[in-house]
Structure 1
Amino acid sequence: MSHARGFMRAVLICPPLHSHLRAFEALAGELTRRGHQAIFLTEPGIALQGGVAQATLPGPPAYPQPRRLLAEIATGARRTDRLCRDAPPLLRDIGPDLILGDQMEPASGLLARALGVPLVSVACAVAMDAEPGIPLPFLGWPHDTTAQGLRRNAGGERVADLLMLPQSRVIRRWAREWKVGDLGRLQDCLSPDLTLSQMVPGFDYPRPVTGARMAQLGPFRRGQMAQDFPSDIQPDAGRPFVYASLGTLQGHRAGLLARIAQACRQAGAQVLLSHAGCLSDDQARAIPADWVRPFVPQQAVLERADLCVTHAGLNTALECLAAGVPMLALPLTHDQPGVAARVAHCGAGLRLQPWQRSRVRITDAVRTLLSDSRFRTTARGFAAQGDSWRGAAGAVDEIEALVSPRTRATG
């Protein structure tokens, strides 16, 4: 079948991170449903869901994703270099009409420019698009357009440039090789035309400059599958029910998880804790929560929860807003400080900085969030808008509007 606006062949490029892959799979599924073709470009060993088409780079499997920041940056730089080195022959054979590129993978922007293919950037996390007054995503600073705020943000960008030197060297080398301009940072490799963001209206800081090219669509995967609440977990309806998770990569932090569980119980709440399979059985048994599980159906759990204690990953934060659940944000890494700052800014929860995470401070925050109805009212306000979030369908609407006039005609 071909769509009325014209067939498109899209190549999708994103880092091999769980939440990013699942978001891109949702986009691929919607593209396919409308009669377009979606092909992931990946390193060997990357498992995809939903029968998505895949073109695999030659050579050994992907490097395992490290947990330490500097090692992660180095791994990302090697991945970018590999994509730039090995992808062009594959892309020429595929003949894409569009590259759909994760903002965290600059190879997508470099390859699109080198091949003369339209690029659409995808912000699975906090958008990287530069905006006066908005700090980089990994900084938990407020939105501030004063001279002082702009100076502080510029200082943060200088620090980021130093940390990202391995990645910048790769970007600059391939930009020179392909004569595609003076590119040297992640931000230089973004689409100048369209960013698809999973942010929901009212949650991000204001973006008067880049807003015209940014579509805030909400979670791409929302509502794709029904989930049942675990039958072996039966919360007492007479007591607050708290769900706690540090995401798929930080569930190994047994000490912090134990303090969260202790704090919730001291605040009079029952707590379900998920560690994403990062703890051994002995470590899990030592966590003083009412229920400890490696994995849970998170959407179903949030529909029953009174509060979520979270690492402030964007996916979890958006699921909380969709369910009308306030949050206690304990950011750890990546863009989580930026997400946590927005949780506090919009009034849907509180955040605690790394130096504020004693059991006493967490207990006080949990009590405040459970007793002050303003946080839940704000979260429910977002949930009431949920039907207007366009998700993956809206993303493909935006792509078709931008790219279809340039695509090849089909029979």
Structure 2
Amino acid sequence: MRVALLTTTQHGHLNPYVPVVNALRKAGAEVSLLLLSADGGALDEQRRQALGEAQVHSVGQVEMAPWSGDPAKIGPMLRSSPVADRTADVLRATAPDFVLVDSLPVTASAVVGAHASGVPYGMIWANLGGVCPREHRRGRWAYDEQVGDYLTGHGVSWSTRTHSARSPILNLMPTIPALVGDDAVTDDGVRLVGLPGAAGTRGDEVAFPELDRLAPDRPVVCVSFGTIFYRRPDLLRTVITGAAATGAQVVAAVGDLAGELALPDDVLTAPYLPQREVLERADVFITHGGYNSVAESIRAETPMLVVPLAVDQPIQAYFVGRAGFGTALEPAAATGRAVTDAVADLLDPARDYRARLRAAQPECGDSAARTAELVVSAVETLQRQGEQ
């Protein structure tokens, strides 16, 4: 059985799919990874090692800047992109039995290529956009409409209720009912498969010996705005100092901004944190709302303050608040006083944030293993149908 998985080089997409690739291999599949280079990004050696024997194929490049520019240019850009043809060519040449496509706007051309290749394909998401009702998907309408017109023009199914693509075979959302609840749009074939972030190597682990310096008698606040959106020094400084004003020990991922922030002496910083390890020690997590971070915080039973900065992050902020797993502040409202008050609220045991997170743990599961199980089952069903 041969299975391909298509995604981008962005950490927020590669990280959750390394375990999926390895789960598929463990299930007996021969796996290849089809990669779109986002803004020139490449597969680093650490993640290459974590992928084991999986074959890696390039299917082209995508640029992120246009998705914050004039929405009217998105349709022409997608139609002129060579990614669709390149994806179809690679799939025909490698001839997998099935391809699982990471569904997001920048992969729309690759979705068209998968559809055109004739290879059966399924959709998977690295955020909650695929099940979020459109009334909570703010600020993306003009872009979504361009993507929807492009995909439906090439025969790809499109959910107008969520503004996202759909496969006729398999649609997998790595999430849990406790997070998305009855608001999730799943009645058109989307299956929930558990949270990303189960134990296991994903290829980005780093050492952070400063964890040993944490005072046992102080609450710990972890701060991270991810590897793309962290470059907001004024906001990052405000958030960190606001959290520190509660008396908590703050541990922050600051990229290359450490020299610009002028932080209190007892704030611990690093360019990049072993986030899962830190969250196991943290009492509050201040995050931009990237979905990997949200999922890891839920697994660690760590309440969140979400400050959504762009793209799908407001969607995650909405669902975190809906579930009672934390609260949110718009960036413009994230003053030092507001952050201090929000962190104090999240630290208050009477507010029951941790109790709700604890109650959700039985649902978390292992989304990579469940994804592999469902993909293998879908391929076996297709093969039986082909034999009849």
TM-score range, shorter chain: 0.7 to 0.9
Match of 1:54, SS state, is strand
Q: Structure 1 or 2: larger strand share?
A: 2
User: Given residue 143 of structure 2, which amino acid in structure 1 is its aligned partner?
Assistant: L
Written as runs of structure 1 = structure 2, the 5 A alignment for 1:118-197 is 118-129=120-131, 134-135=133-134, 138-139=137-138, 160-164=140-144, 167=147, 170-171=150-151, 175=154, 180=155, 187=163, 189-197=165-173
Shift of 1:221: 4.2
Match of 1:332, SS state, is coil
- Distance verdict in 2 for CA 1:111–1:389, change over 3 Å: same
Task: Tell me the residue number matched to 1:257.
Answer: 236
Q: Partners of 1:100 and 1:66 in 2: how far apart?
A: 26
Shift of 1:181: 6.7
Written as runs of structure 1 = structure 2, the 5 A alignment for 1:10-159 is 10-43=3-36, 46-47=42-43, 49=48, 50-51=51-52, 52-57=54-59, 62-63=61-62, 65-66=64-65, 69-70=68-69, 78=77, 81-104=81-104, 105-129=107-131, 134-135=133-134, 138-139=137-138
Tell me the alpha carbon deviations over residues 364-392 of structure 1, each in whole angstroms, 9 at most, x when there is no partner. 11111112431121122223x26x51321
| CA RMSD in angstroms, aligned pairs only | 3.2
- Distance verdict in 2 for CA 1:181–1:283, change over 3 Å: closer
Shift of 1:260: 1.2
Judge conservation of contact 1:73–1:166 (CA < 8 Å) in 2: yes
- Higher mean alpha-carbon deviation, 30-39 vs 293-302, is at 30-39
Match of 2:99, SS state, is strand
Q: Is residue 402 from structure 1 mapped to residue 378 from structure 2 by the alignment? A: yes
Q: Partners of 1:292 and 1:188 in 2: how far apart?
A: 37
- Distance verdict in 2 for CA 1:348–1:181, change over 3 Å: closer
Judge conservation of contact 2:219–2:249 (CA < 8 Å) in 1: yes
Q: Partners of 1:357 and 1:108 in 2: how far apart?
A: 37
Written as runs of structure 1 = structure 2, the 5 A alignment for 1:225-244 is 225=201, 230-233=208-211, 234-244=213-223
Q: Partners of 2:256 and 2:246 in 1: how far apart?
A: 26
Judge conservation of contact 1:73–1:167 (CA < 8 Å) in 2: no
- Distance verdict in 2 for CA 1:170–1:68, change over 3 Å: closer
Shift of 1:195: 1.6
Shift of 1:79: 6.9
User: Given residue 242 of structure 1, which amino acid in structure 2 is its aligned partner?
Assistant: V
- Distance verdict in 2 for CA 1:184–1:243, change over 3 Å: closer
Gaps of 5+ in 2: none
Match of 1:106, SS state, is helix
Q: Partners of 1:181 and 1:268 in 2: how far apart?
A: 53
Q: Identity across aligned pairs (percent)?
A: 24
- Higher mean alpha-carbon deviation, 209-218 vs 290-299, is at 209-218
Judge conservation of contact 2:235–2:331 (CA < 8 Å) in 1: no
Written as runs of structure 1 = structure 2, the 5 A alignment for 1:306-325 is 306-325=283-302
Give the total of aligned pairs. Answer: 368
Gaps of 5+ in 1: 1-6, 140-158
Judge conservation of contact 2:175–2:195 (CA < 8 Å) in 1: yes
TM-score normalised by length of structure 2: 0.83
Task: Tell me the residue number matched to 1:389.
Answer: 365
Q: Partners of 2:234 and 2:184 in 1: how far apart?
A: 42
User: Given residue 213 of structure 1, which amino acid in structure 2 is its aligned partner?
Assistant: G
Judge conservation of contact 2:148–2:163 (CA < 8 Å) in 1: no
Shift of 1:56: 2.5
- Distance verdict in 2 for CA 1:73–1:331, change over 3 Å: farther
Tell me the alpha carbon deviations over residues 22-46 of structure 1, each in whole angstroms, 9 at most, x when there is no partner. 2222221111222212212234663
- Distance verdict in 2 for CA 1:239–1:221, change over 3 Å: closer
Match of 1:379 among 357, 360, 367: 357
Shift of 1:249: 0.9
Judge conservation of contact 2:324–2:353 (CA < 8 Å) in 1: yes
- Distance verdict in 2 for CA 1:76–1:324, change over 3 Å: farther
- Higher mean alpha-carbon deviation, 256-265 vs 182-191, is at 182-191
Shift of 1:315: 0.9
TM-score normalised by length of structure 1: 0.79
